[in-house]
């Protein structure tokens, strides 16, 4: 049984990854002091005995990599830079993955999985989450310079959604507002197209990579993770309204589109599909799940 260390395990994606891997591997779930662990407790339930929960910080993580005899390290820790100092964002998004990878490089046939973002496709004119985007870009560039004996897989995620996400993110925010019947709701044109990938499908992709790690070449590899299809933001929001039966008025075009907006983003699944992974969650079912959860808690 492989030993898998998940850093940032209390977050949206990290908690789903832990839940997906727990039945198959010995999982150590690391989270920062002060982190909300409610997602982990909710998703793991009575199976939590299969997971070692460790509270840690950046100074103790390299030692934990060694102590847990980790075959695989997944770095799901992230800072979006909305309110944090730039130095803090650099520490989490750029320095931490490098420290983890360097700690793991001493182990033969080890695998480091870094989580990247489709925001890397944006130009410098796109100011939204610019510090997050640039620190992620820096991490990718530097990881490619590491010892080529280490297997580094850069998982470039498209637009992630699903249950237990942070409410300030776009889709959960829209679900909450529409289910609550808030009206009118001011929106941009919504013409930008996004590849919406359900968090459970994304978590399964990580398991597929671990299962196929022996077939992966040493050095750096990027795998794109998405549904392989794109849909407009407008149609997604309209679908949320239709599913919920809400009377909210949606005012598309009231807000200006962001300068430098990515017009279309969609994953190329060729490499990931070769590992036997296919998405299982369709968008309508995924949005229906979110609407029902919001209605239950309203």
Q: Give pLDDT tens digits for 178-203.
A: 999 999 999 999 999 999 999 999 99
Q: What is the topology classification, in CATH, of domain 3-160+198-228+268-280? A: Rossmann fold (3.40.50)
Q: Which of 197, 165, 179 is nearest to 286 (CA)?
A: 197
Q: Give pLDDT tens digits for 104-145.
A: 988 888 999 999 999 989 988 899 999 999 999 999 999 999
pLDDT at 231 over 70: yes
pLDDT at 235 over 90: yes
Q: Give pLDDT tens digits for 81-109.
A: 888 999 999 999 999 999 999 999 888 88
Provide the token pair at 111.
């695998």
pLDDT value, residue 148: 81
Cα 170 to chain centroid distance, Å, stands at: 14
Q: Give pLDDT tens digits for 239-279.
A: 999 999 999 999 999 999 999 999 999 999 999 999 999 99
Give strand pairing partners of 115: 155
Q: Give pLDDT tens digits for 202-216.
A: 999 999 999 998 888
pLDDT value, residue 72: 96
Q: Give pLDDT tens digits for 159-182.
A: 999 999 999 999 999 999 999 999
Cα 98 to chain centroid distance, Å, stands at: 18
Q: Are strands 151-157 and 231-232 parallel, antiparallel or unpaired?
A: unpaired
- Counting every residue written for the chain, the total comes to 298
pLDDT value, residue 282: 95
């Amino acid at each position: 049984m492989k030993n898998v260390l998940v850093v940032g395990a209390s977050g949206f994606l990290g908690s789903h990854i832990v839940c997906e891997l727990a039945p198959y591997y010995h999982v150590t779930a690391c989270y920062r002091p002060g982190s909300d662990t409610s997602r982990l407790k909710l998703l793991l339930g009575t199976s939590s005995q299969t997971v070692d929960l460790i509270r840690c910080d950046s100074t103790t993580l390299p030692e934990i990599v060694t102590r847990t005899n980790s075959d695989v390290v997944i770095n799901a820790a992230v800072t979006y830079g909305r309110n944090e100092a730039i130095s803090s964002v650099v520490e989490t998004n750029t320095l931490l993955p490098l420290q983890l990878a360097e700690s793991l490089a001493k182990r033969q046939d080890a695998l480091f999985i870094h989580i990247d973002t489709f925001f890397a496709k944006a130009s410098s004119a796109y100011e939204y989450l610019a510090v997050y985007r640039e620190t992620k870009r820096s991490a990718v560039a530097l990881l490619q310079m590491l010892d080529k004996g280490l297997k580094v897989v850069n998982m470039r995620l498209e637009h992630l959604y699903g249950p237990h996400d942070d409410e300030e993110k776009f889709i959960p925010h829209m679900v909450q507002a529409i289910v609550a019947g808030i009206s009118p709701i001011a929106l941009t044109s919504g013409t930008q197209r996004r590849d919406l990938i359900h968090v459970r499908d994304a978590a399964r992709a990580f398991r597929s990579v671990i299962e196929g790690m022996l077939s992966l070449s040493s050095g750096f590899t990027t795998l794109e993770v998405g549904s392989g299809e794109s849909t407009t933001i407008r149609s997604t929001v309209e679908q949320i309204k239709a599913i919920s039966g809400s009377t909210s008025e949606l005012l598309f075009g009231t807000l200006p589109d962001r300068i430098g907006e990515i017009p279309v983003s969609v994953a190329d699944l060729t490499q990931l599909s070769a590992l036997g992974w296919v998405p299982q969650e369709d968008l309508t079912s995924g949005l229906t799940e979110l609407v029902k959860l919001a209605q239950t808690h309203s």
